[in-house]
């Protein structure tokens, strides 16, 4: 489905990002994975790419450092010859009740989760607009739609991604560039597996499908938005949440 396409995926070393990289490689894309430092996943993804007759590149940048991030992304753009697909997936949490939250924890989450999306999208979308084609996929969250106690910084960053996505879709649509967001619900990742059993049970009881989602569920949604199957889809938020947001 992605044969001959080139993709940049941030937060590529684990969890949802890693699975999106695997899915894109499986479907024939050449993928650049951006993570903060050399990852334990690199060798595995290099082998997987070779098995699927394509190529994986791992590049590194602290996405909260705008100067370094800009340099790394512009270099990747130049070396790749341009990307057909961008997945802004990098994200962190620094949870805490709002009245106890430090400004440092607020700023760090907004910088990594939202500002980096703006910076990278600005660089990549300019090239996509020039070529009049491309798909940008931004990773939001169900908490960006409904909020979550103890996560005002994370929720605000993910809600900001939705506003950014819808606005950028209106700016880029007439130039052939699609911009969509994915809002995952409770997905089995390292982050959610750290949740205590009692809290996990409460979450699962609130999901109509009565199970946590998998990283593959999210990667399949990303594949749809990246592929030509979604050529008439832009400015949308795809909820992959087992019905939590219904």
Positions marked active-site? 154
The total of other beta-carbon atoms located within 10 Å of residue 65's CB is: 14
Q: Distance between alpha carbon 219 and the CA centroid of its chain, in Å?
A: 10
For the CA atoms of 148, 149, 152, 154, the dihedral, rounded to the nearest 10 degrees, stands at -50
Contacts of 109 (CB under 8 A, 6+ apart): 92, 93, 94, 153, 154, 157
Beta 6-10 vs 30-35: how paired, if at all? parallel
What beta strand segments (E) does 124-221 contain?
Answer: 134-139, 177-184
């Amino acid at each position: 489905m992605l044969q001959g396409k080139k993709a940049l995926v941030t937060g590529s070393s684990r969890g949802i990002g890693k699975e999106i990289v695997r899915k894109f490689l499986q479907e024939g894309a050449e993928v650049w994975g951006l993570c903060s430092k050399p990852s334990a996943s690199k060798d595995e993804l290099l082998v997987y790419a070779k098995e699927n007759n394509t190529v994986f590149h791992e590049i590194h940048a602290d996405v909260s450092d705008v100067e370094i991030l800009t340099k790394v992304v512009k270099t990747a753009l130049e070396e790749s010859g341009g990307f057909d697909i961008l997945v802004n997936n990098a994200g962190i949490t620094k949870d805490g009740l709002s009245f106890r939250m430090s400004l440092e924890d607020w700023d760090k989450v907004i910088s990594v989760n939202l500002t980096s999306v703006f910076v990278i999208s600005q660089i990549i979308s300019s090239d996509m607009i020039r070529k009049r084609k491309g798909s940008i996929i931004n990773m939001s969250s169900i908490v960006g739609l409904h909020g979550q106690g103890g996560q005002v910084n994370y929720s605000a960053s993910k809600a900001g991604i939705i506003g950014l996505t819808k606005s950028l879709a209106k700016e880029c649509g007439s130039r052939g560039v699609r911009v969509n967001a994915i809002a995952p619900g409770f997905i089995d990742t390292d982050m959610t597996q750290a949740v205590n059993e009692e809290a996990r049970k409460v979450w699962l009881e609130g999901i109509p499908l009565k199970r946590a989602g998998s990283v593959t569920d999210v990667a399949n949604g990303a594949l749809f938005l990246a592929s030509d199957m979604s050529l008439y889809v832009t400015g949308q938020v795809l909820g992959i949440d087992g019905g939590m947001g219904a």
